[in-house]
Structure 1
């Protein structure tokens, strides 16, 4: 079965989010660990999580995605920003340990003209400080579009981060189709070559999750502008090839397209039908 979901608010609780995902035909969902533009996190409710875990088990959910805050920049050129971001990371990793069947995904950060190597070292330092021996939740670096001084638009940068972390057993990557295409990886006409590149540099075994989005901008634009599936420059046919590819079809996919819930429901229904073509 296709593992597909979308971004859902947990404002009314995790159990409510899980039920909402099911109502859309989803069997996973993504949520922000805290306000995406802020730093404060709502206290976890053990009973709410227990109800979510029961629902996920009963409905055979795929792993859900916990997405780190956009304000977290572990590669900042300002020490106070890095320290603040390290605090967010540590707290997030402690909190997600209480959520069963969950991946933690975050944007590596921007080096703010310090240079890529300096930024990568700061990210490595933060991960080494935050990852404890008891860490069980997979931590996924998200591949980026490469805009500005953003780190992660080049797969080699993700590889350097992973190689630099002392305990990298739980480290993996999440690819975003919009980001990947905008960064210059041609998933439309050269998907096999892109997957070979991922395998060579990072290892397909470390590819754990996919953000499925079309793109508003041209190939290699270095811009992060998500589009509704089939309405952008990647196109529906290429995106369907991605979800059906033998190396990817088992992974959990989450939509981050500019949609309301009814729009997500339509996309999920369409993708389920497309995924079954090769079954």
Structure 2
């Protein structure tokens, strides 16, 4: 089996997110830990968290994903930008312990001219500084489309980061279908080949979650523009293969498609369940 969900807003609280997920027949979800542009996080209400956990347990939720703000760049050439990423991620990982045993996903960042090797070192240095042995949260590196100077557009770059992280049981990968497609991995025509390459380079034991998004661009475009399932260049048939792939069973699959409202995500989840 797999777990299906979408990105929901946490501004109304954890309990509300759980109720919204249940209302569209989702059994996982993703949320921003704070405003996606950064800034101060809303105070956590422990009673709200307890109500969320009760609903999640009643409806057999799989692992859920918290997403770091897009503005974080742990390999920026600006020291204050790196320090901001360090501060936010440290705080977020402490907050994640209110819902223990889940995932925290982030974009590795852009080296902005410093070079890939320098960027990889900065990212791994930060992870080694903030990841603690007693945390229950697994930190996920997201696969990227490879645009500009961003790091994570190849499996080799993600492997290089993981190799430098000391607490390897606290690190994993979230594969974004749009991003890997745009990076040049042809998951539409050769899903098993892409997964085998991931396994050879990184190891499938590190693949913890998927963002399932179609792409507005052809394979290898390095653009990163999400589309609704079946409307883009990956295509509906490819997603049926992804959803039913034996190597991906048990993982949370989260939609980040350009839907206007919750009902739109509900329709997509219904369509995906029918594929299964």
Write out per-residue CA displacement over residues 174-215 of structure 1, whole angstroms, 9 at most, x where no aligned residue.
000000000000001111110001101111111010000000
Q: Distance in 1 between matches of 2:177 and 2:99?
A: 26
Structure 1 residue 168 corresponds to structure 2 residue 168: yes
Q: Do the aligned partners of residues 176 and 243 (structure 1) sit closer, same or farther apart at CA in structure 2, a change above 3 Å counting?
A: same
**TM-score, structure 2 normalization:** 0.98
Q: Distance in 2 between matches of 1:37 and 1:224?
A: 18
1:177 alignment counterpart: 177
1:108 partnered with 2:108: yes
Matching of residue 186 in structure 1 with residue 159 in structure 2? no
1:2 is displaced (CA, Å) by 3.4
1:19-41 per-position Cα deviation (integer Å, ceiling 9, x unaligned)? 00100110111100010012211
- 2:270 paired with 1:269: yes
Contact kept in structure 2, 1:39 and 1:71, CA below 8 Å: no
TM-score (norm 1): 0.97
1-side partners of 2:22 and 2:246: how far apart? 26
Answer yes or no: is the 8 Å Cα contact 1:53–1:100 preserved in 2: no
SS in 2 for 1:211: strand
What is the distance in 1 between the residues matched to 2:98 and 2:258? 30
The correspondence of residues 192-203 of structure 1 with structure 2, limited to 5 A, is 192-203=192-203
- How far the C-alpha of 1:101 sits from its partner, in A, is 4.1
Deviations 1:41-65 (A, max 9, x none): 1111100000111111111001111
Partner of 1:14 in structure 2? 14
Aligned residue number for residue 230 of structure 2 = 230
Measured on the aligned residues, the alpha-carbon RMSD in Å equals 0.9
Q: Is the contact made by 2:100 and 2:136 (CA closer than 8 Å) also made in structure 1?
A: no
State how 1:49-68 maps to structure 2 within 5 Å: 49-68=49-68
Contact 1:2–1:272 (8 Å) recurs in 2: no
Aligned to 1:80: 80
Tell me if structure 2 keeps the 8 A contact 1:62–1:101.
Answer: no
| 3-state SS in 2 of match to 1:110 | coil
DSSP-derived class of the 1:31 partner: strand
The corresponding residue for 2:246 is 246
The count of corresponding residues between Structure 1 and Structure 2 is: 275
* C-alpha separation in 1, matches of 2:115 and 2:214: 30
| Residue matched to 1:43 | 43
Runs of at least 4 residues off by over 4 Å: none
Counterpart in 1 of 2:26?
Answer: 26
- Structure 1 gaps, min length 5: none
